[in-house]
Structure 1
Amino acid sequence: MPKANRSPRDVAAEITDLIIRKLEEGVPPWSRPWRSSGGGRPLRHCGTPYSGINNLYLWAVGDHRGYRSRYWMTCRQAEALGGQVRKDETGSLSVYYSSFTKLAADPGTGRETERTIRFLRHYLVFNADQIDGLPATYHVEDKPEIEPSPSHRQRAIDAFFAAIPADVRHGGNQAYFTPTFDFIQMPHRRSFRSMDLYASTRCHETIHWSGHASRLARTFGKRFGDKAYAFEELVAEIGAGLCCADLRLPNHLHDGHASYVGQWLSILRADKTAIIHAASKAEQALTYLKAFGPERPSGEAVPAAAEAQGAATA
């Protein structure tokens, strides 16, 4: 791993500021990026997808700057591949948590105990579009984009949802998950303009389903008070965006969820680390859902469901 940048940059604030700008523009960065920047989630130089906040942030940066390549790397990694970052190009943040232990004395007893302190570290990466001399595989070919056939996409959609043991009921004109009775309610399929939109909505509700107390047990009330539900909606929207990207589905900010944008903005402005936690929880939820199937929609191996609890933020 390249040496971390040790400058006193407030990286959490920089990331949050970009996400806020995209929300204010009406372009949630978990909704649009894969359609305008090369067809999928950001990749490291070795082809491994980014996760957590790096996934969300680099998607937003790529969308904001108009990059077409999915690949990101450090200067040293580019040089190892025969490339060279162009002069005056600006790097983007890639973050990870590090930690150290320190002894702290109990004020009452004087007894010393070890405390683990976590802190955010970062280093700079560059998109392949900022680098000369890389192999052609790191760049997007100039050819017409071909939409996958509906039947091929439908098989992937059906396989993904069929493996998840959620209680899904159909009827009425609302889509929601009820944690009290632990089931997903969806309108009938025929009520949607397309099966893609049905699947996109079901992705959102299934992310909610993953947070039930008997599964990933997401609770935010102690941290965000009366904004807890808005935060859960933020996690579900980000998670649905990741899910739709894997299934190659359109993901639109549904009217019913757009009402939360103002609350999301207030949360992000009040807590600069909130988007990092939300992205981590969304990634954890998708990892949990994928673990029910024999393999990822893209063909990659899936970790065991229990490992979702320890999903990384980087």
Structure 2
Amino acid sequence: MRPKKRTSRDVAAEITDLIIRKLEEGVPPWSRPWRSTGAGGRPLRHCGTPYTGINTLYLWALGDAQGYRSRYWMTYRQAEALGANVRRGETGALSVYYSSFKKHETHPETGKDVERSIRFLRHYVVFNADQIDALPAYFYAPDEPETPVAPSARQAAIDTFFATIPADVRHGGNQAYFTPTFDHIQLPHRSAFRSMDLYASTRCHETVHWSGHASRLARTFGKRFGDKAYAFEELVAEIGAGLCCADLGLPNVLHDGHASYVGHWVGILRGDKTAIIHAASKAEQAFNFLKSFGASAPDPASGDDGAEAVAATV
């Protein structure tokens, strides 16, 4: 059954809202320290032609949000022409383009008939190949075996540092985050990162988040991007990761995935001149807590913030 046509969609708003949401999650799909398995490169039309402009960014962001692995997108009719069918209940994405029409009107001063070209945004609905059954095999991303990344020159120190920290670290998917609710760290597979140094520095950031759990240092986690507590926790994690990276001799750079918090950090620091001192103190506490696992079983320090479980802290 062909899906019903959707009308009155605010195309620009939908695209903008999705891009903003991905930025707020701190994971811009076009810039991250790991590769998105199977879905790298520009999104492609059914004929293999790459999308351009805002369609590239939007379909990248949507594919990332939905976990699609295929690069291919197509309309319902294009899928039908290939002998395939969109699965029932799937929601399509927007592919946009500018069109124009000619309008005749009377010039207000001369009274002459003039022709004016008016541009407007149009769209059509496309589906990712992962939403479609029975397409030829090349439309779907192949299962790629995990290929080892060359060890870091600092690998021994990295392995020693993480080996004694009893965090539950899970690998898979295309996101890096710590979830206080379920108390585990999620990372892409090591082979997805461009280097083991980047894997280690990303793991440092998420492990600092792990240290703030209610059962450990009990830092307050904000509920959403924009909360002062949320932005403050990200600042603590970034400073703490910097301390870990410096200790391990890793590159100490602000990951693109966390750069979107900078504006919120500035707001916090401008509003409270003691905030950076507090954040640095919390980061130092987290760093010492993580280092202590290498010496002896730690006694979790008490924090001066309450704890609040949320879905995920990136």
TM range (shorter): 0.3 to 0.5
Q: Which has the larger radius of gyration?
A: 2
TM value normalised by structure 2: 0.45
